[in-house]
Chains A and B, each alone.
Chain A
Amino acid sequence: MTSAGSAGTSTGGPVVPGTHPRHQLDDAIHSPVRLSVVSALSGVDRAEFAEVRDAVEVSDSVLSKHVAALEAAGYVEVTKGRVGRRPRTWLALTGEGRAALRAHLAALRALLGADLG
């Protein structure tokens, strides 16, 4: 039991590094939509915005908002182009995003292990 365990991370006080797996969770991808977006992109080199939207089952505006946050975090790369005359927006996971996803998923699994173990 660490002192940080009862302090949590939402009290606004100084965060004391702890050993509990939840301290390893990445705030940038902790929201369900962002985690879904990053996870979806982890299986592809790149995908069009509309395909990600359909896979994650959110609206255009919701996906835009979360992609902007992920892009700001350096986890997703956004590329705009054209196929024929049609404008397209491509999304791709960066190396940093891939590493963050791996660490985040490992923390989630550890969290389950800590609880079940």
Chain B
Amino acid sequence: MSERTHVTVDQARSSLAGADAARRGLAARGRWLAGYFGAFAAGSAAVVGLIGLGGDTGTVLGVVGWVALVSVGVAYAATRPVRLRREGWLHAGGWASWGVVYGVVLAMGHPRHGEVAYWLPAALVSAVPLAVAALVALRWSGR
């Protein structure tokens, strides 16, 4: 019994190592998602800052820039060859929480246009949900 069992045990050890390496290898190719959410987090901070501090021109620039970023981001995501496990949930959670924070930040800042003390922190806060999503994607792609 021993020889066959020992061979099988060696194979088992090798199989487990190979399985883990394969799983990590393919998941790592989903790391693009971290960059995707990171870019949108930075974009969100820029847009909120422009809306709050840039006047009418800043608002127009911010909205146009956001539309451009979304267009590029959607096209980029559609061509990615690897989708991380539970990626849909991350999109749903990230964007839904971003929408709430973004709406609250703009609503609270409406009477404070031009106030740097409000809009700079507000811009950073608006980026938090998507930055968190980026960190989660980074973790998922590395596990």
Give me the interface of A with B, judged by CB distance under 8 Å: 1, 5-6, 8, 22, 32, 35-48, 50-52, 55-56, 83-84, 88, 105, 108-109, 111-112, 115
Find residues 105-123 in chain B having any chain A CB closer than 8 Å to their own CB: none
> B135 at interface (Cβ–Cβ under 8 A)?
no
Contact call A44/B13, Cβ cutoff below 8 A: no
Contacts A55-B22, A55-B25 given; indicate if A43 touches B81 (C-beta within 8 A). no
A/B interface sample: 14 pairs, CB < 8 A: A22-B8, A32-B15, A36-B22, A39-B19, A40-B25, A40-B26, A41-B26, A43-B23, A43-B27, A43-B143, A45-B85, A47-B81, A52-B26, A55-B29
Which residues of B are found within 8 Å of A32, using beta-carbon distances? 14-15, 18
In angstroms, Cα B85 to Cα A46, docked, is 8
| Closest beta carbon of chain B to A31's beta carbon, Å | 9
Contact call A115/B29, Cβ cutoff below 8 A: no
| Closest beta carbon of chain B to A34's beta carbon, Å | 10
Which residues of A are found within 8 Å of B92, using beta-carbon distances? none
> B70 at interface (Cβ–Cβ under 8 A)?
no
The 9 closest A-B pairs by CB, nearest first: A43-B27, A39-B19, A48-B81, A40-B26, A36-B22, A40-B22, A55-B26, A55-B25, A45-B83
Q: Is the interface of A mostly helix, strand, loop or mixed?
A: helix
> B78 at interface (Cβ–Cβ under 8 A)?
yes
Q: Mark B1-40, 1 if CB is under 8 A from A, else 0.
A: 1001110110011111011111111110110000000000
| Closest beta carbon of chain A to B85's beta carbon, Å | 5
In angstroms, Cα B120 to Cα A80, docked, is 47
Contact call B27/A44, Cβ cutoff below 8 A: yes
Name which residue of chain B comes closest to A56, CB basis: B22
Which residues of A are found within 8 Å of B18, using beta-carbon distances? 32, 35-36, 39
